[in-house]
Chains A and B, each alone.
Chain A
Amino acid sequence: MTDTAVKANDISVLEISGITKTFDDKVVLDGVSLTVARGQTVCLLGPSGSGKSTLLRCVNWLERPDQGTVLLCGERIGMRKGGVVPMGNAELARLRMRMGTVFQHFNLWPHLTVLQNIIEAPVHVQKRRRDEVIAEAEALLENVGLADKRDAFPSRLSGGQKQRVGIARALAMKPELLLFDEPTSALDPELVGEVIAVMKSLSQAGSTMLVVTHEMGFARETADKVVLMDGGRIVEQGDPEQFFGNPRTERARQFLQRYVSA
């Protein structure tokens, strides 16, 4: 590893501090702070409405938090230096293109083929060479087991296939951080496995991932850190062994009882 890479290792890839978000008087996030180190997989758990997805949307500024800061590799997102002037769309885009997002409902672009979906942003946002990106995209499709769907349109794919394309699309950005927003919640139960398998191999390969999920098995086996949210706050965080084996808080115990036994 080079010197700069070692230095980069010292700072967290993602550092969220004191995020607050209110929708029409309803407090959705109430002073949430969280860090994700390079190579870590962090799972955000919690009942629906606990604010996990909103937190994820605050990371790439799809949702603008009322208070708090988000740092990507030490760079502030959403606000210019000084923290008073909000960033313009172009500045936000430069930071967003360093993250890859996987959505609950896939959100593939219906007018583009599988391959076109994957190369769209690398070519037109990151301005990378088309032939190079295509070669990478084909390798990614191979990795997620969809090489034969290269020229299919998203509407012709199953949910599990769509989500694997969604992951390949995010990876093609060569992101420093991968964001997963309940990537398996919209899938039929028998299709969850194929997506989980891809996510596990990404985690093992050392990707930095922040994952909102209800898949307790995935969190337990793969996460480096598990974070439980409830009512817009972090209730408990720790390593999965300890969290699932011996939770410290009563709220975590209740949550695990309901979700793990089910």
Chain B
Amino acid sequence: MMRDFSLIWQSADRLLDGLINTVLLSLVGAALALALGALLAIPLMASNPVLRLVSRGFVDLMRCVPFLMLTYLVYYGLPRLGLRFDNWTAGLVAIVVYNTAYMAEIIRGIWSRLERETIEAAVAFGFHGWRLVSRIILPQVMLAAGPMIGNQLIQIIKDTAFLTIIAVPELTHAANSIQAQYFIPFATFITAVLMYWALCMVVEVGVYAVERIAERRR
């Protein structure tokens, strides 16, 4: 067993590359999904029923479809419509599209529970439209959203492992190729699992730090 782990140590650069890809895909994907989700929350909260119906339809659809299924649709399906991505980009697109729906639903939920009075005060002071949303509503939503966004980020980190199936060189893919080369599946996958664990711990520490900042304003 010690020999196995020393073999892994020798291929540490490959695992590290995988880890970096996992982190990059997760962070970039989560950041884009959060930004787009915030935009998508606006029609979800709109008074126009058509806007609401269309945006709700997209969100509910994404919540019914497994992430891998959406990845396949992006990777194999979109080229049929003339949109061709390399594996990495296809993976990122799938993460962003899928999680935009989840982020939007998180934001909508908090937004709808926000105190109406602070929004009304802003209206009385002449805020309206995008500026009302961006200056008064979304900052308050983000202040409360830390733990839920953290949970979603953990979900995204875990979902990136699916991308091994379309050969994106992320952590699980790297681990799988190392174990296939040296036939040391136990040591490699355990190492990978521990790395995922560490990543999720980092996210939880981050959420804790953000909560301390938010706490001062509650």
Q: Is the CB of B217 within 8 A of A121?
A: no
Asked if A107 contacts B218 (CB within 8 A), the reply is no
Beta-carbon contacts of A110-151 to B below 8 Å, as 1s and 0s? 111000000011001110000000000000000000000000
Contact A120 B135 (CB under 8 A): yes
Q: Would A126 and B126 count as touching, CB distance under 8 A? A: yes
The winner among B123, B131, B143 for most chain A CB atoms within 10 A is: B123
> Do B143 and A62 touch (CB < 8 A)?
no
A235 interfacial contact with B, CB 8 Å: no
Question: Which of these, B117, B126, B139, B143, contacts A121 with CB under 8 Å?
Answer: B126
Say how far B124's CB is from chain A's closest CB, in angstroms: 4
Given contacts A110-B140, A155-B217, contact A121 B125 (CB under 8 A): yes
- Contact (Cβ within 8 A) B121 A107: yes
CB of B141 to closest CB in A, whole Å:
9
In angstroms, Cα B216 to Cα A94, docked, is 33
Chain B nearest CB, measured from A120 CB (Å): 7
* Chain A neighbourhood of B129, CB < 8 A: 89-90
Min CB distance B57 to A, Å, is 27
A: interface residue count bin: 20 to 34
Give the distance to chain B from A182, nearest Cβ to Cβ, in Å: 13
- The answer on a CB contact under 8 Å between A96 and B143 is no
> In the complex, A93→B139 CA distance in Å?
21
Q: Which of B117, B118, B129 counts the most chain A CB atoms within 10 A?
A: B118
Contact yes or no, B124 A96, CB < 8 A: yes
Q: Is the CB of A121 within 8 A of B127?
A: yes
A218 at the interface (CB under 8 A from B): no
Tell whether, in the assembled complex, residue A108 and residue B118 are in contact, meaning their CB atoms are under 8 Å apart.
Answer: yes
Whether B125 lies near A101 (C-beta < 8 A) is yes
B195 beta carbon closer than 8 Å to chain A:
no
Interface residues of A in 77-105 (CB under 8 A from B): 89-90, 92-94, 96-97, 99-101, 103, 105
For A125, give its contact among B118, B121, B125, B143 (CB under 8 Å).
B125
Contact status of A97 and B216, CB under 8 A, knowing A103-B121, A110-B118: no
Q: A107-B117, A109-B136, A109-B140 are in contact. Are A62 and B124 (CB under 8 A)?
A: yes
- Interface: B7 (CB within 8 A): no
A101 engages B128 (CB within 8 Å): no
Binding site for A on B (CB under 8 A): 117-118, 120-129, 131, 135-136, 139-140, 143, 216-218
